[in-house]
């Protein structure tokens, strides 16, 4: 991969969990210019932004725009100079999509359209990576999966591949699914090098998890703070967990192999070797931390999948990428992050999204 200063990287949602990890890699491992576009509405995003600003003090290559992807003028201005775009800005909670489907649609579908429309008008023909979700596959008709100890049984030996039919199911699935399809078709119609990641559960450092998003971090932090949680369903639901450092490697891999990956969709997750149920994660947290996590049960939330495991073999075939970090290692990395930053995690407020407000904090030379 070319690490010279000709790379002009724009990260929508760059102060969030995934975006800040990718931005930090670019700032510390390359000479690329990095432009973060974020409305700072996500819990902990201000702390992630300060972390990134400290990382780039010597290089002077970081530019920050505080704005919302629903503001097309701000998006146009940001996109015009970029030759690489990473789009992580989103409304991420199924529960929020059910209670406020208009907000969910305007952010996920409308915001993504704004980015794509700006990209197709750019003379740079930028590379664009979009993070979609496993929720585009619906509940997968696995509601009757037989129970096996503390987890539901996995119906296959490899997980869900990209050939799985789409079934958006929830408003969140619909908005992300619409954006997912828009990205693919804009790539075809306007000759843009785009890649879609349909992601499973991502966890790791810089994650300020809560009940609706970032459940691995939420479980761990709740145990460390002696705060009871609610489990929706019987706790036997299973997911494959991918460490954020492995996700960053996957993003770099598709960019490096763009002649093969352009226009493709990839299921990205920890895969069959990194499965955990809610109950199993609770036991793992107790083993790693020595703290018991107290919980109560409630009915299953709409749109939840009892079983989801990624089949990432297509991504491996095209790039050679595979996960390197297992679930327990990921939990230990989260524990270290909490130990070093628990005062920020405990105090991090939930901010209100801002629309049509833009502030430039430029440190780019």
- Give the separation between CA 168 and CA 139, rounded to whole angstroms: 9
Contact 228, 295 (CB under 8 A): yes
Q: Which residues pair with 8 in a beta bridge?
A: 33
- Give the separation between CA 365 and CA 361, rounded to whole angstroms: 12
User: Which is catalytic among the residues 137, 152, 169, 172?
Assistant: 172
Active site residue 172: yes
* CA pseudo-torsion sign 202, 166, 303, 38: positive
Q: How many CA atoms lie within 13 A of 145 on its CB side?
A: 23
- Give the separation between CA 168 and CA 174, rounded to whole angstroms: 5
- Give the separation between CA 152 and CA 146, rounded to whole angstroms: 6
Q: CB under 8 Å, gap of 24 or more: what pairs does 92-96 form?
A: 92/172, 92/212, 92/213, 93/172, 93/212, 93/213, 94/135, 94/170, 94/171, 94/172, 94/173, 94/212, 94/301, 94/302, 94/303, 94/304, 95/212, 95/301, 96/172, 96/212
Query: Residue 310's closest CA among 154, 177, 182?
Result: 154
DSSP state letters, 165-211? PP---SHHHHHHHHHHHHHHHHHHHHT--EEEEEE-EEE-TT----S
Pairing, β 8-12 against β 33-38: parallel
User: Known catalytic residues?
Assistant: 172
């Amino acid at each position: 991969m070319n690490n010279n200063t000709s790379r002009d990287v724009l990260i929508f949602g760059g102060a969030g969990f995934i975006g800040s990890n990718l931005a930090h890699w670019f700032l510390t491992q390359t000479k690329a210019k990095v432009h973060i576009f974020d409305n700072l509405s996500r819990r902990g995003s201000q702390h992630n932004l300060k972390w990134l600003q400290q990382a780039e003090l010597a290089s002077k290559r970081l530019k920050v725009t505080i704005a919302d992807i629903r503001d097309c003028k701000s998006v146009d201005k940001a996109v015009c100079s970029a030759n690489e775009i990473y789009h992580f800005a989103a409304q991420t909670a199924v529960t929020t999509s059910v209670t406020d489907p208009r907000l969910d649609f305007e952010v996920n579908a409308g915001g993504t359209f704004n980015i794509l429309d700006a990209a197709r008008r750019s003379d740079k023909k930028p590379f664009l990576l979009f993070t979609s979700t496993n929720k585009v596959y619906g509940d997968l008709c696995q509601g009757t999966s037989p129970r096996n100890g503390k987890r539901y049984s996995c119906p296959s030996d490899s997980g869900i591949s990209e050939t799985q039919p789409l079934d958006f199911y929830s408003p969140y699935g619909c908005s992300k699914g619409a954006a997912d399809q828009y990205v693919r078709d804009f790539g075809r119609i306007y000759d843009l090098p785009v890649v879609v990641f349909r992601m499973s559960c991502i966890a790791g450092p810089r994650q300020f998890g809560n009940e609706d998003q970032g459940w691995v971090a939420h479980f761990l932090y709740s145990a460390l703070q002696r705060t009871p949680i609610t489990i929706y369903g019987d706790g036997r639901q299973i997911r494959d967990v991918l460490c954020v450092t492995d996700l960053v490697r996957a993003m770099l891999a598709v960019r490096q192999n763009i002649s093969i990956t352009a226009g493709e969709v990839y299921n990205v997750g920890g895969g069959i070797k990194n499965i955990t149920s809610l109950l199993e994660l609770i036991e793992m947290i107790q083993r790693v931390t020595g703290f018991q996590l107290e919980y109560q049960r409630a009915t299953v939330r709409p749109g939840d999948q009892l079983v989801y495991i990624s089949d990432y073999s297509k991504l491996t075939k095209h790039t050679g990428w595979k996960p390197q970090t297992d679930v327990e290692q990921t939990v230990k990395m989260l524990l270290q992050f909490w130990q070093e930053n628990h005062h920020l995690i405990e105090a991090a407020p939930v901010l209100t999204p801002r629309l049509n407000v833009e502030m430039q904090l430029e440190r780019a030379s």
